[in-house]
Amino acid sequence: MNEHESITAPLSARRRAWNGTMRALLYAAAAFICALLVFLIGYILYRGIPNLSWQFLSSEESVINDIQGILPAIINTVYVVFWTLLIILPLGVGSAIYLTEYATNKKLVSIIEFATETLAGMPSIIFALVGMMVFCQALGLGTSLIAGSLTLVMMTLPTIIRTTQESLKTVPQSYREGSLALGSGKWHMIRTVVLPSSIDGIVTGCILAVGRIVGESAILMFTAGMSMSMAQFGGGSIGEFFSNFFSAAGSTLTVSLYVYAKERADFGLAFAVAVVLLIIAFVINIAAKLAGKKLKKN
Amino acid sequence: MKAKPETEKRDAAAAGAFTGEQAVERIDAKNSVKDIMEKVMQGVFLFCGLVAIGFVLVISVYLIISGIPAIREVGLLNFLGGTTWSPANKTEPSFGILPMILTSVYGTAGAIIIGVPIGFLMAVFLSKVANRRVAAVIREVVDLLAGIPSVVYGLVGMMVLVPGIRNVFNLAAGDSLLAAIIVLAVMILPSIISVSETALNAVPREYEEASLALGATEIETYFRVSAPAAKSGIAAAVVLGVGRAIGEAMAILMVAGNVANMPSLLSSVKFLTTAIAGEMSYAGGLHRQALFSIGLVLFVFIMLINAALNFFFKRDKEGN
């Protein structure tokens, strides 16, 4: 910039003032956002860490023994993540495969893409309403973690489709042609050539989806309830086991944070849950970055 | 001795890769298991592709079916234009959602007015001014900001903003539209920053070089050449922010106070989203149906915003 000024005529006072102001604004915005980030993270850790203990993470809440614990919430969160991924993976990857490998009808592709974008822009409270009506009521699943997982499938579908599609596009066309020329059918080609080379993208998509599932609260509050006690996952007989396993309900980490903060005004514990969520978000970010980097290298 | 295994291997490889013979076989016997498998898998993938359409249809149909009855009973004008929301009133319940519509609009506008300039300046800083290493670190942290669950924002807002506003303005309670606007502004920052930055990075380097060569300073180039060239991308960022802000429920449920007043900056307010999130658990009868109708109104808003977003992204693609 200095060099630059020296070879041209000096700037007019007005231009200099404008330049100075805008430059100051740029740095001010950057400094402000950095300060905000440091404050947010620092404040959550400062309020939360004193309330975080091994007992809090590993025990169930008990009024009689005066124990506070979020083990049920952790188990419920894992349960929801597991079921959602189990359903979303084949669906999302399959959908991406259809769009990039099979679809020949341009109109259908554009309709599917429009639908995916619509889902991506839909607020979670709408999913929550519809999930409650469709899965809890119409399909008779009741208030349950399974109904929550199915609703989350609707929400995370665009994430998986998009990342898978991106990585499918990076598989060189010559791989496909080579495989087809050797006489393999399309499904054989996809299974043995295309999918193995795009596994990184699928992994990235899963990690991002896990992030969204763990962070979601409105959907789970509506479909899986706000109970803080341990859900009954097992049972004596096989029939009992299944009916318990599928009707289990309760709060996940985000919902229990909401319950602590808003219903019980127990802010210390709410911040302790916030620390757990912050750590999960941090780990997920790093994992997604690493998987993404590997994707770029290939 | 040495050559023999090699030819054998080649033969085996050829057989393994099933070139000629199997292809012929396939033409001969079209109904072989493999062909059926191919057909089946094509069907399976088609089904997966159609699932997204199915979800959108289910959402639309359910929202319309469940949203219409209450609107019919109350009357569209009374519902959208009524200024009192007292659904639990036994003798004279009233279902006007104008306060919530206005609150959602004002809240979103406020979040955009605060969030967009800061986010845009940050994007210019990251894209053009900051050195690479600093930019990379900041980007990581902004990504982390995007990954923090909304209830955590709500919690921090509840503990920091709400008491702060109460003390600064000397109010009885700090739960207010202002608190919600600030929380929303922070929450939309990451998406505004990343989308605008992508748009700014896509501006051809030649534009900037030409501007510099003509004697403009760097700062003038960023704001008068790069930013206008990236304007549809930045517009998309704004619309994306609008969509995020209008749809957010849990975080502002914790700071807005949830009384269906006509919106003013320092009073307790109720958004479209927070009405649904806050009242669904105890609502019954017409009240419950009215909440579904609010969902339908919100859905219409979101579809309009999506249409705008599509428009900007498409124009952006054609522009490049």
DSSP string, B201-214: HTS-HHHHHHHHHT
Residues A189, A67: one domain? yes
**Whole-number percent of chain A with pLDDT over 90:** 43
Phi first, then psi, for residue B204 (nearest 5°) are -60, 135
Residues A126, A108: one domain? yes
Q: Which residues of B129-150 are buried (b: 16+ CB within 10 A; e: fewer)?
A: bbeeeebeebbebbbbbbbbbb
A105 → chain B, closest CA residue? B46
Residues A150, A37: one domain? no
CA distance B99 to B87: 14
Q: How confident is the model at residue A234 (pLDDT cuts 50, 70, 90)?
A: low
Q: What is the pLDDT of residue A112?
A: 92
Q: Nearest Cα to B156, choosing from B113, B186, B176?
A: B186
**A108 interaction partners in chain B (CB closer than 8 Å):** 49
B256 touches chain A (CB under 8 A): no
Q: How confident is the model at residue A235 (pLDDT cuts 50, 70, 90)?
A: low
Angle subtended at Cα B243 by Cα A148 and Cα A204, rounded to the nearest 5 degrees: 55
Which pair of tokens denotes residue B223? 């704001």
Closest partner residue to A115 among B17, B56, B124, by Cβ? B56
**The one-letter amino acid at A267:** F
Closest Cα of chain A to B114: distance in Å? Answer: 11
Considering only A57-66, A90-99, B60-69, B204-213, which range has the smallest mean pLDDT? Answer: A57-66
**Whole-number percent of chain B with pLDDT over 70:** 88
Q: How confident is the model at residue B162 (pLDDT cuts 50, 70, 90)?
A: very high
Q: What is the pLDDT of residue B30?
A: 53
Under an 8 A CB cutoff, do A30 and B130 touch?
Answer: yes
Residues A61, A201: one domain? yes
Residues A119, A35: one domain? no
Across B62-208, where does the E strand assignment appear?
Answer: 85-86, 94-95
HSE value, Cβ hemisphere, 13 Å, CA-based, for B250: 29
Neighbours of A294 (CB within 10 A): 14
Model confidence pLDDT, tens digit, residues A102-152:
888 889 999 999 999 899 989 999 999 999 999 998 888 888 899 999 999
pLDDT at B10 over 50: no
Residues A119, A230: one domain? yes
A158 touches chain B (CB under 8 A): yes
Q: How confident is the model at residue B318 (pLDDT cuts 50, 70, 90)?
A: low
Q: Residue A9: which domain range?
A: 2-49
Terminal alpha carbon distance of chain B: 63
B303 touches chain A (CB under 8 A): yes
CA distance B48 to A216: 24
Which pair of tokens denotes residue B179? 């608190």
**Section A9-23 average pLDDT:** 86
Closest Cα of chain B to A169: distance in Å? Answer: 17
Residues A77, A96: one domain? yes
Q: What is the pLDDT of residue B126?
A: 93
**Section B122-142 average pLDDT:** 90
Q: What is the pLDDT of residue B94?
A: 85
Q: What is the pLDDT of residue B9?
A: 46
CA distance A177 to B50: 27
**Section A26-52 average pLDDT:** 92
Q: What is the pLDDT of residue B27?
A: 52
Residues A16, A116: one domain? no
Q: What is the pLDDT of residue A297?
A: 62
Residues A65, A36: one domain? no
Q: Nearest Cα to B195, choosing from B291, B316, B290, B300?
A: B316
Average pLDDT over chain B, rounded to an integer: 85
Chain B stretch 92-131, residues whose beta carbon is closer than 8 A to a beta carbon of chain A: 117-118, 121-122, 124-126, 129-130
Q: How confident is the model at residue B3 (pLDDT cuts 50, 70, 90)?
A: very low
CA distance B257 to B259: 6
**Structural domains in chain A (count):** 2
Residues A131, A268: one domain? yes
CA distance A139 to A246: 13
DSSP state letters, A178-236? HHHHTT--HHHHIIIIIHHHTHHHHHHHHHHHHHHHHH--HHHHHHH----SPP----S
pLDDT at A3 over 60: no
Across chain A, where does the E strand assignment appear?
Answer: 60-62, 67-70
Phi first, then psi, for residue A216 (nearest 5°) are -75, 140
Please, what sign has the CA dihedral across residues B261, B264, B270, B273? Answer: positive
Q: Nearest Cα to B191, choosing from B247, B238, B133, B252?
A: B238
B213 touches chain A (CB under 8 A): no
**B305 interaction partners in chain A (CB closer than 8 Å):** 121
A-B Cβ pairs (cutoff 8 Å, strict): 255
More confident residue, A286 or A8: A286
Residues A39, A71: one domain? no
CA distance B3 to A280: 59
B243 touches chain A (CB under 8 A): yes
CATH number for the domain harbouring residue A255: 1.10.3720.10
**Section B292-319 average pLDDT:** 82
* B contact test, residue of A126, A160, A164, A202 with most B CBs within 10 A: A126
Under an 8 A CB cutoff, do B125 and A26 touch?
Answer: yes
Considering only A113-127, A229-243, A253-267, B21-35, which range has the smallest mean pLDDT? Answer: B21-35
Q: What is the pLDDT of residue B316?
A: 61
CA distance A41 to A53: 19
Residues A31, A77: one domain? no
Contact criterion met (CB below 8 Å) for B316 and B199: yes
Q: What is the pLDDT of residue B168?
A: 92
